[in-house]
Structure 1
Amino acid sequence: PRINPHAFLLRQVFDHDYAEVAALLDKTEAACRQLVHRAAGRVRQERPRFDVPRDTHRRLLEQFMQAARSGKRDDLQALLSGDVQLVGDGGGKVQSFGKILQGAYRIANLYWALWRRPMEVVYRMAQVNGEPGLLRYVDGQLESAQAFVTDGERIVAIYVVRNPDKLAGIAPLS
């Protein structure tokens, strides 16, 4: 069966409790515990869903970063899989998404809308959870760390950490 990584990542990476994971995924706590258990088994077996070379992953992120910087909505959408998902983590301290955003059109529009706002947005490549990811600075302040899952051709998931406690150790924009 196909493993859904979202419950596992929300629980293990973003440190949400099962009640929060259940609310974000619109599932029961018991179902989320089972999803985390299955995903943990997959991780232990070291059989990743996508085995993407690091350079390929990095190239996709560089293209995404360029499209986000220039407000090219069609280019953003082309880099996203049709069923891409975006999960946000504000930790209850800053505004984030209450539910998972789904779909290339919707997520491309989100990044495009941010580009249109009258503020300075800067993206930087960085290691996020051990993989190439992006840091986003808004008006000189770190706004988020973004981890990406790719299949080698498109981005299939984006995890956006906005919780200031989790961002505290990241260097300011220089």
Structure 2
Amino acid sequence: MPPSAGVTEPRGTASCACRRESYVGTWLPEPLLTSPDVAEDVELADSVSTAMLLVLETLAPTERAVFVLREVFGLGYEEIAEAVDKSPAAVRQIAHRARTHVAARRPRGAVSPSETRSALDAFRRAVETGDLQSLLDVLAPDVVLLGDGGGVRQAVPRPVVGADKVGRLLVAGLGGSTAASLRPVQVNGRPALVLRLDGAIDTVVTVRVDDGLITGLYAVRNPGKLSYMQRETALRR
């Protein structure tokens, strides 16, 4: 189930003024502030999660369009063929290829909001207190940290891999800071954290959780992508 479900436009996939091809640094989807009830619809929440949006971005544009039109909106192959200027037979092949691609890369199983919140609470406490060991306890050994500053704000220039590297980086940057505050919110249908510096939104952190441990950390700092954190975005199927 892809990310455009019920969103007026698929902002998360390409709404930044700069397309991924010319984007400076790591590209991450825009964080959308969502209401808590979105998390209750597990399938919808999964479809708009940061991890799933990143999977969708690995599809070619036509594959992504076919996948969304077929899997989200339930259009027939004839209608899709007309929309993408392909034959129905070609659309069937594209749809099959896209489904296979997504199935192979989508996050493993649905993680409950309570499990994600539990991991995030432990993560927040460890970062705020600068407790490296507690942070390592909630990070998976092969955790990956991605940062998106869009060339405007400083962010990690490439993925940081491994609990020790990620933990030490976070503790050095945020541990014990009195100017920084981490607050829980709902982003893209999932529990997340907003980092504020002196009261202003600085970073939105979403996570991927597997087996109770954080396996992916996605930190968006690009100011151009934080505008949708000012008000809730209505998501529906």
With the length of structure 2 as denominator, give the TM-score of the two structures: 0.55
**1:79-98 matched pairs, under 5 angstroms:** 79-98=138-157
Between structures 1 and 2, the one with greater strand share: 1
Counterpart residue number, 1:17: 20
Distance 1:145 1:101 in 2: 17
Name stretches of at least 5 consecutive residues in structure 2 with no aligned partner. Answer: 1-11, 28-54, 65-97, 232-237
Alignment partner, residue 37 of structure 1: 59
SS of 1:68's equivalent in the other structure is helix
User: Closer, same or farther in 2 for the Cα pair 1:119/1:14, shift >3 Å?
Assistant: farther
- Note if contact 2:183-2:195 (Cα within 8 Å) is conserved in structure 1: yes
Aligned mates of 1:68, 1:115 — CA distance in 2: 7
- Which range moved further: 116-125 or 45-54? 45-54
Higher Cα Rg, which structure: 2
Identical pairs, percent: 29
Aligned counterparts, 1:1-150, within 5 A: 12=13, 17-18=20-21, 20=23, 24=26, 36-37=58-59, 41=99, 43=102, 48-116=107-175, 119-150=178-209
Identify unmatched segments of 5+ residues in structure 1: 1-10, 26-32
- Return the offset for 1:44: 7.2
Label 1:55 to 1:128 Cα distance change in 2 as closer, same or farther (>3 A).
same
Q: Deviations over 1:56-114 (max 9, x none)?
A: 11111011111111110111011111110011111111111110111100111111112
What's 1:168 paired with? 227
Q: TM-score, normalised by structure 1?
A: 0.74
Assess, with a 3 A threshold, how the Cα gap between structure 1 residues 170 and 37 changes in structure 2: closer, same or farther.
closer
Matched position secondary structure for 2:58: helix
> Which of the pair has the greater relative contact order for Cα pairs under 8 Å at 6+ separation?
2
Q: Say whether the 8 Å CA contact 1:119–1:138 is kept in structure 2.
A: no
Counterpart Cα distance in 1 of 2:15 and 2:168: 25
Residues 108-153 of structure 1 deviation map (CA, whole Å, 9 limit, x = unaligned): 1111112347551100001122110000012222110011000032
Seen in structure 2, the aligned counterparts of structure 1 residues 97 and 85 have a Cα distance that, compared at 3 Å, is: same
CA RMSD of aligned residues (A): 3.3
